[in-house]
Amino acid sequence: MDYFLVCGLGYLGQHCVVALKKFGVKVIAIEKQPPPQWEIKNLDHYLDRLIIGDCSQANILLQLPISQIRAALIVTTVEKINLETAITIRTLNANTRLVVRSVRDNLNFLLSNELGNFIAYEPKHLPANAYALSALGKETISLLNLGGIKIRINRLQVPGYHHWLSYSCVDEINNRHRRILSHDRQGDSPSQSIEFHCWHPEAKIQPQDTIIYVETEDNYSLNKGYGINPNRKKISLNFLYYRSLIQTKISDWVKNFWGLSLKQQVARVAIIYGLVVFLLLITGTVLFRFFYPGTTLVSSFYVTAILLLGGYSDLFDSFEPISTLPEWLQLFSLALTVTGTAFVGVLYALLTQALLSSKFQFYNKRPPIPEADHVVVIGLGKLGQEITKKLRELKINVLGLTFNPITSQSDFLDLPLIYGHSLVDSLQLANLETASSVIVVTDDDIVNIETALLTQKINPHCQLVIRTNGDTLTKNLGRLLPEAIIIDPYVAAAEVFTGAAFGENILGLSCWQEQTVLVTQYHIEEQDTLQGLSIAEVAYGYGVVPIIYQDKSEDEAIFLPSEDRSLMPGNLLIVLATMAGLQSIEAGDLKPKQWKLKIIKASSKMSVFDGISAIARIAGCSLKIATETMNNLPATLPVKMYHHQATKLKKVLQQNQIESVIEQSLAPIS
């Protein structure tokens, strides 16, 4: 099957055509009403054939070489037509991969089971995470949840006091929970393209270097703030972990407890008073038992209970002093009565509220407009709503702003909201001067530009994230607002649709350095371009970052698996990849191995034995080759490797007291 079909040449469909052509495949498109001018210039040059007609009609689809259609990207703006087209194509070709634009999750799940080889995405939901994370600043690039493993991609500009500066080389940052993605020196011009594994593993970390890395959320929480004090002594990791865990639990409990709505204020006071009364009951029982002669534990309990219920006069009804009872205990008894009376009053208030609530229905009061350190989301269409949802999942203080009137007071009821005002008035009400970030995602590009410029004027220090539609507009606006993050949602979505067309399962995306990084899942099959390769060869040969691996015989997935593992049919692998990486995997285009390791000497026979094992494991050669090399030192290992592979092997050999040196070899691989 040689062709790829794109149904619907709107803005998303046009970008899907361009993205497919990057893979060097033949593309056929169907469009019912072609516009006078395409939004992407020279789109006709990307198409091998254009058919005018309704893509849901079988007679139109039969004009295609339907038996040779490998995948169909069905991306019209009408969901009914998309689903009808998918069903029609399946009746004509049982093997075509169906990638559909649709927002109906339940229906899509059912169709996936019925039609097979079917996947659906909503393009406006796909980049929502990228918009939300862009608003958090430059430190957090992406947050992912893959099979229960929470992962984050971070950017760090190394401060002069950071503990990483004590490492001998940048490669020492890597461990079981963290992996470096890029390392840029201070003063280097930022790269406009993402190329993984281009950093030098033996480079020394300098202040103001920029390091991008992926790690688990648990590891980030454990080490957050670690190294801020340069004179700080090392503390046990176990102690740090449990202390951090306890602090987090207590902090979350306090925030949730004190974050109750106004409707729950009386209930909150009742809970506090209940705890206080319980403690006073225990305390009073103990005090009366030990400081009032002749009393028992039970009678002390009853006395304390009577005092809490307001019975002070029943016990102390005489003006004469009680010599057998200390004065401080009598004063404590009065305090018990006052506290108990107040508690009864609170219970009455709680009961009254419950009775009134059962008779009347009150509207909840919308949360007030935040005053500082909030994220303003301007434009509450589908994309804007998805962004606010993502931000609130991250516990971020969010303010929604729409220029349209809302139809009901119950719309967005739990969200601070500004609506129905002019642009200038809305921005004045939003406390932009103290906002941390502003996300502008209305459907009108002109409104987005005007809003962005006004926002920049009001608060030039806030993080500005802008939605645009069109390559030219994106580039020009980038020059006008160089510090802003500009994302075209359909360009990012088109890359997801295109990746899915080749059979990959795209789990998510993030945007950084003006490029899209796709989180892509592979199930290894026979004759796959990944089958039989080690994870090191996949990483360095295809230019991707393997982050999750699961063997078919194992129940649990492994985060940042060992590079020595080989991929076999049935294994699962999740990688971070650019479109260039996906293209390389699809074509089986591995980068050449250009590095060798010259082994000079070993300190002992035990070192030789350990070296043989390390060479066979890391270089991927046979034990015979490793043994022959180690028994004839000095010798050059007759196996070429990638640079990071060779560096790792050199480091392991050095730990086993074996001296070696890396050499570059540009000769063809034998």
The domain locations on the chain are: 3-121, 264-359, 375-487, 491-587, 595-664
CATH entry 3.40.50.720 includes domain 3-121: yes
**pLDDT over 60 at 238, yes or no:** no
**pLDDT over 50 at 236, yes or no:** no
Backbone angles phi, psi at 63, to 5 degrees: -75, -15
**pLDDT over 90 at 82, yes or no:** yes
pLDDT tens-digit readout, 136-161: 777 888 888 887 888 889 889 898 88
At residue 267, the pLDDT reads 64
- Among the listed residues 201, 199, 198, 197, the one whose alpha carbon sits nearest the alpha carbon of residue 168: 201
Q: Which residue has the higher pLDDT, 308 or 113?
A: 113
CATH entry 2.40.240.10 includes domain 595-664: no
**pLDDT over 80 at 47, yes or no:** yes
At residue 243, the pLDDT reads 61
Please name the helix (run of DSSP H) or strand (run of DSSP E) that holds residue 4, with its range, or none.
strand 3-7
- The rounded distance, in Å, linking the Cα atoms of 608 and 638 is 17
At residue 322, the pLDDT reads 59
Domains 264-359 and 491-587 share a fold: no
**pLDDT over 60 at 337, yes or no:** yes
- Among the listed residues 78, 2, 155, 195, the one whose alpha carbon sits nearest the alpha carbon of residue 584: 195
Cα 136 to Cα 265, 374, 474, 484, 516: the distances in Å are 32, 10, 21, 13, 18
Work out the pLDDT band at 250, boundaries 50, 70, 90. Answer: low
At residue 474, the pLDDT reads 74
Q: Which residue has the higher pLDDT, 94 or 263?
A: 94
Strands 149-157, 97-101: pairing kind: unpaired
Please state which architecture CATH assigns to domain 264-359: Orthogonal Bundle (1.10)
Average pLDDT over residues 224-240: 45
Cα 454 to Cα 292, 371, 441, 470, 577: the distances in Å are 75, 19, 15, 21, 36
Cα 456 to Cα 374, 409, 437, 452, 453: the distances in Å are 16, 31, 11, 6, 5
Work out the pLDDT band at 505, boundaries 50, 70, 90. Answer: confident
Q: Is the CA virtual torsion 317, 323, 324, 327 positive or negative? A: positive
Q: What percent of the chain has pLDDT over 70?
A: 85
Question: Is the bond into 416 cis (omega within 30 degrees of 0)?
Answer: no
Average pLDDT over residues 33-45: 87
Please state which architecture CATH assigns to domain 491-587: 2-Layer Sandwich (3.30)
pLDDT tens-digit readout, 275-333: 888 888 888 888 877 777 677 888 888 888 887 777 777 666 655 565 567 777 778 87
**pLDDT over 60 at 480, yes or no:** yes
Q: What is the CATH number of domain 375-487?
A: 3.40.50.720
- The rounded distance, in Å, linking the Cα atoms of 125 and 397 is 21
Are 14 and 41 within 8 A, CB to CB? no
What SS3 state is found at 142?
Answer: strand
Average pLDDT, the chain: 83
At residue 347, the pLDDT reads 76
At residue 540, the pLDDT reads 94
436's CB contacts (< 8 A; 6+ apart) are 135, 137, 373, 374, 375, 462, 463
pLDDT tens-digit readout, 537-576: 999 999 999 999 999 888 888 999 999 999 999 999 999 9
- The rounded distance, in Å, linking the Cα atoms of 28 and 33 is 16
Token digits of residue 473:
């507009």
At residue 499, the pLDDT reads 87
**pLDDT over 60 at 220, yes or no:** yes
Angle made by CA atoms 343, 347, 351, in degrees to the nearest 5: 170
Strand arrangement, sheet containing 595-602: 635-636, 595-602, 658-664
